[in-house]
Amino acid sequence: MLYGRLDDLRSRAADQLARVLRETGGTPQARTERDASTAMYSEQLSQYSAVENGLVFGRLDFQDGAHQHIGRIGVFDEDHDYEPLLMDWRAPAARPFYLATAAAPDGVNRRRHIRTSMRKVTAVDDEVLDLATADVTKHEGLTGEAALLAAVNSSRTGRMTDIVQTIQAEQDKIIRSGLNGVLVVQGGPGTGKTAVALHRAAYLLYTYRAQLARRGVLVVGPNSTFLRYIGQVLPSLGETGVLLATVGELFPGVKPDRTEPVEAASVKGRVAMTDVIATAVKECQRVPEDYLEIRFEREVLKLDRETCVQARARARRSRRVHNKAKPLIVPVILDSLARQYADRIGADPLGGKNLLDPTDIEDIRRELSEDDGVQAALDWLWPTVTPTELLEDLFRDKDKLAKAAPKLTERERDLLHREPGGWTPADAALLDEAAELLGIDDTATRAAQARERQEEIDYASGVLDILDMQDDADPEILTATDLIDARRLAGRYEDTDHRTAAERAAADREWVFGHVIVDEAQELSAMAWRMLMRRCPSRSMTLVGDVAQTGDPAGTTSWQTVLEPYVEDRWRLEQLTVNYRTPSEIMAVAADVLGPGMAAPTSVRDSGVEPWHLWVPDIQAQLDEIVAKEVAAVGDGTLAVIVPSGLSETSADVDAQVSVLTVGQAKGLEFDSVLVVDPALILAQSPRGANDLYVALTRATQRLGVIHPGELPESLSRLADTA
Ligand SMILES: Nc1ncnc2c1ncn2[C@@H]1O[C@H](COP(=O)(O)OP(=O)(O)OP(=O)(O)O)[C@@H](O)[C@H]1O
């Protein structure tokens, strides 16, 4: 019945869309309305297709005999007062599906998990929550255990799937937490942080639609492989308007296409870079050692250092951003030049008063301001600079680096030194910082816009004149110009922006999001946080991560340190404690690497397969054979070979059955089987090597093997020896 209703809804939306697309012509307003309807019906259609799989996944039977089905979207009975036929999982009434327990049944008698394949029901798991009849479940606090275990045991495809059918109580609490303020979700590997973050985005958009639809929601992930991995989840939950981006992509117009050593990225991530950039901006505001010479007409005028210093001080005092402060130096410079010129050409040969009157001097000033030589001097003193120019010039020039970054060591400055040509992910936050101090010189754009608008107004008056002439025939009829003036007519023709909030946000550095969600938030550098906070002045944010998995040397090991500068201690912490990915046998190995004092999450299941290690003196020669064996063991599941960095720098394909990845690339992902290559090198490669190894080991959902050309690191001694 519900799929029948879905088909109805779909064909109705398709009909409407076809009807709207058939319409042509009409007034500009009608066209605008048509565009809006096209967007709406297309979105409805994609939503209906996205929820096709697993449309219905639950049923609650209440103690009073009523029942309710739970699904991905709400479906209502239009013939009977819009009674809900299917309850959207995000609606408050669906909540007992995730929270009711035998101890607190919340009016629920029985919870049913319905598993489907295509449109067929393949399994039904019932839980009776009536204490008198219920089994006391083995795992305290887990709901829908059979469905949950089926989900976590299923083999992986390389794309993340949603968990809407089996959200657990501790996760549900986070997903439905209120919109305001900063919420930090700390949890070990596999505890569902990513899943929870995405379901929260869907929940917030459903619950606070009015506030969020216009501003949009931003989800930040660690790298593009990861974004591809999670890309399907939100559409399957019926949401399409969320902007997914990496931190490196947050500066509009710049796509990171260049790599650099981690040490370089780590220097760029330090908060000390704010001073470096501020100094670099100040260094653009020049004064001559002695004086500048300017040829004007037949005279050579001098701009002395003192005048330039005065002009610069005036502009700096204004506290305007660099590119907007330039107009403030102009009058000081022009005054000085005009005075000199007047003194020369207007001097009374008899030694009396200057012969020029104030109007003459005004004319001289105007001519000076239009003179190329004077413009060149102004551009030298106070050039208009874009963020990309500022950074390219700074990085390519060792002297500029030395002046701007006196507090960095020479080695650190050498790490920053490079020729222009592309940008790295760590550059985005620096460009953003520079943009903040430089401001955008939009005089040219604004002049162009004004010109275009004037042209439109002229065109519109032409149209009105023609209409007027026709109307002249009958003086009784109101003329077109009586009803509408040219300015308003031009306004009607202006294109209205039909892009979604997410699309507009991606193109606009000053866009402010309604909510920002950051995954793997422990990896962000201090500079990246500054950029992100600018995108979200309301501080309505969800930050998910694990300070035990920090791999980036610029990342953090303490949430308080990161948040202090922005919200002091006003942030809430929620923790996730159960690992749904990694079986207990593998988790025991990983916990040894984490070391004492750090709590690893508890696995929800055992796999019955012992993780192993093998000494392989020549990895190059034997890898293929080992991989082939592992592929056979994992059937049609996925396998990741996780290698030290330097060995694989290609972008990873999430859909391949076997992928070769560095730890950085594997972050946040999971595979049925994982083969870790040369753990000793992974440990040695970074100051956070132990965290990296911990991340590598916890990517597996079923099987784990470790191969090593040298000694096995001490912390891995729990692994079974297969030699
Ligand atoms: N309630 C749940 N029901 C079914 N599967 C779940 C549930 N919670 C999490 N999972 C599964 O556990 C796996 C790990 O989840 P996820 O990737 O969100 O964890 P994470 O905390 O982000 O891990 P990491 O820190 O390692 O990146 C995923 O396959 C996810 O689908």
548-590 per-position pLDDT tens digit: 888 888 888 899 999 999 998 889 999 999 999 999 999 999 9
Same domain, 29 and 131: no
Facing residues of 614 across strands? 707
Same domain, 448 and 422: no
596 is in an annotated binding site: no
Range of the domain at 16: 1-47
Q: What is the band of 713 on the pLDDT scale with cuts at 50, 70, 90?
A: very high
Cα 401 from Cα 414, distance rounded (Å):
9
Q: Is 163 in the pocket of ligand 1 (CB under 6 A)?
A: yes
In the prediction, which pLDDT does 410 show?
96
Contact between 613 and 721 (Cβ < 8 Å): yes
CA 669 to ligand 1 center in whole angstroms: 10
| Spatial CA neighbour of 114 closest among 150, 147, 158 | 147
In the prediction, which pLDDT does 161 show?
86
Q: Is residue 378 part of a domain?
A: yes
Tokens of 114: 């319905």
In the prediction, which pLDDT does 473 show?
45
pLDDT reading at 67 higher than 80: yes
In the prediction, which pLDDT does 457 show?
64
| Spatial CA neighbour of 532 closest among 504, 422, 523, 210 | 523
β pairing state of 56-62 and 108-117: antiparallel
CA 576 to ligand 1 center in whole angstroms: 11
Same domain, 252 and 150: no
Contact between 559 and 184 (Cβ < 8 Å): yes
Tokens of 178: 């209120």
Q: Which of 167, 194, 574 to mutate to test the pocket of ligand 1 (most atoms within 8 A of CB)?
A: 194
Residue 173 CB partners (closer than 8 Å, separation 6+): 574
Cα 373 from Cα 375, distance rounded (Å):
5
Q: What is the DSSP string of 671-693?
A: EEEEEEE-HHHHHHTSTTHHHHH
pLDDT reading at 381 higher than 90: yes
Facing residues of 544 across strands? 185
Same domain, 600 and 695: yes
193 is in an annotated binding site: yes
Same domain, 282 and 145: no
Give me the CATH number covering residue 193.
3.40.50
| Spatial CA neighbour of 183 closest among 668, 579, 570, 601 | 570
Cα 237 from Cα 202, distance rounded (Å):
7
Q: Is 194 in the pocket of ligand 1 (CB under 6 A)?
A: yes
Domain boundary residue among 116, 139, 163? 163
Q: What is the band of 481 on the pLDDT scale with cuts at 50, 70, 90?
A: very low
Same domain, 283 and 391: yes
CA 577 to ligand 1 center in whole angstroms: 11
189 is in an annotated binding site: yes
Cβ–Cβ contacts within 10 Å for residue 72, how many?
Answer: 25
Report which ligand 1 atom has the smallest distance to the Cα of 549: 25
Q: What is the mean pLDDT of residues 85-107?
A: 90
Q: How many domains does the chain have?
A: 5
Same domain, 25 and 58: no
* pLDDT per position as a tens digit, 197-226: 999 999 999 999 888 888 889 999 988 888
Same domain, 210 and 230: yes
CA 194 to ligand 1 center in whole angstroms: 7
Q: Is 542 in the pocket of ligand 1 (CB under 6 A)?
A: no
* pLDDT per position as a tens digit, 349-370: 777 777 788 888 899 999 999 9
Q: What percent of the chain has pLDDT over 70?
A: 89
Q: What is the band of 453 on the pLDDT scale with cuts at 50, 70, 90?
A: low
| Spatial CA neighbour of 140 closest among 87, 198, 167, 101 | 101
Same domain, 501 and 460: yes
| Spatial CA neighbour of 552 closest among 176, 186, 248 | 248
Q: What percent of the chain has pLDDT over 90?
A: 59
Same domain, 654 and 712: yes
Domain boundary residue among 574, 601, 628? 574
Q: Is 222 in the pocket of ligand 1 (CB under 6 A)?
A: no
Same domain, 536 and 622: no
Cβ–Cβ contacts within 10 Å for residue 445, how many?
Answer: 10
Q: What is the band of 502 on the pLDDT scale with cuts at 50, 70, 90?
A: confident
Please state the three-class secondary structure of 169-225 as a single string. HHHHHHHCCCCCCEEEEEECCCCCHHHHHHHHHHHHHHHCHHHHHHHCEEEEECCHH
pLDDT reading at 598 higher than 50: yes
- Give the closest residue (by CA) to ligand 1 atom 8: 192
What is the average pLDDT value for the chain, to the nearest integer?
87
Cα 140 from Cα 71, distance rounded (Å):
26
Q: What is the band of 444 on the pLDDT scale with cuts at 50, 70, 90?
A: low
In the prediction, which pLDDT does 492 show?
44
Facing residues of 707 across strands? 614, 677
Cβ–Cβ contacts within 10 Å for residue 118, how many?
Answer: 8
CA 668 to ligand 1 center in whole angstroms: 9
Give this complex's ipTM: 0.98
Cα 227 from Cα 221, distance rounded (Å):
6
In the prediction, which pLDDT does 209 show?
87
Residue 167, CB half-sphere, CA atoms under 13 Å: how many? 33
Tokens of 561: 């340190």
* pLDDT per position as a tens digit, 121-168: 998 988 888 766 545 444 445 667 788 888 888 878 778 888 988 999
Q: Is residue 172 part of a domain?
A: no
| 342 to 233, 307, 329, 364, 368: CA distances (angstroms) | 73, 17, 20, 8, 12
Q: Is 189 in the pocket of ligand 1 (CB under 6 A)?
A: yes
Same domain, 261 and 294: no
Cα 108 from Cα 365, distance rounded (Å):
85
Report which ligand 1 atom has the smallest distance to the Cα of 695: 26
Phi and psi torsions of 80, nearest 5°: -125, 65
Report which ligand 1 atom has the smallest distance to the Cα of 668: 27
In the prediction, which pLDDT does 137 show?
46
Tokens of 582: 């990694």
Cα 217 from Cα 196, distance rounded (Å):
15
Q: What is the band of 70 on the pLDDT scale with cuts at 50, 70, 90?
A: very high
pLDDT reading at 450 higher than 80: no
Q: Is residue 625 part of a domain?
A: yes
Q: Is residue 171 part of a domain?
A: no
| Spatial CA neighbour of 538 closest among 212, 271, 320, 176 | 212
Q: What is the band of 623 on the pLDDT scale with cuts at 50, 70, 90?
A: very high
| Spatial CA neighbour of 443 closest among 435, 451, 434 | 451
84 is in an annotated binding site: no
In the prediction, which pLDDT does 590 show?
94
* pLDDT per position as a tens digit, 661-711: 999 889 889 999 999 999 999 999 988 899 999 999 999 999 999 999 999
* pLDDT per position as a tens digit, 28-45: 888 888 888 888 898 888
pLDDT reading at 638 higher than 60: yes
pLDDT reading at 471 higher than 60: no
Q: Is 581 in the pocket of ligand 1 (CB under 6 A)?
A: yes
Phi-psi label, residue 527: left if phi above 0, alpha if psi -120 to 50, beta otherwise: alpha
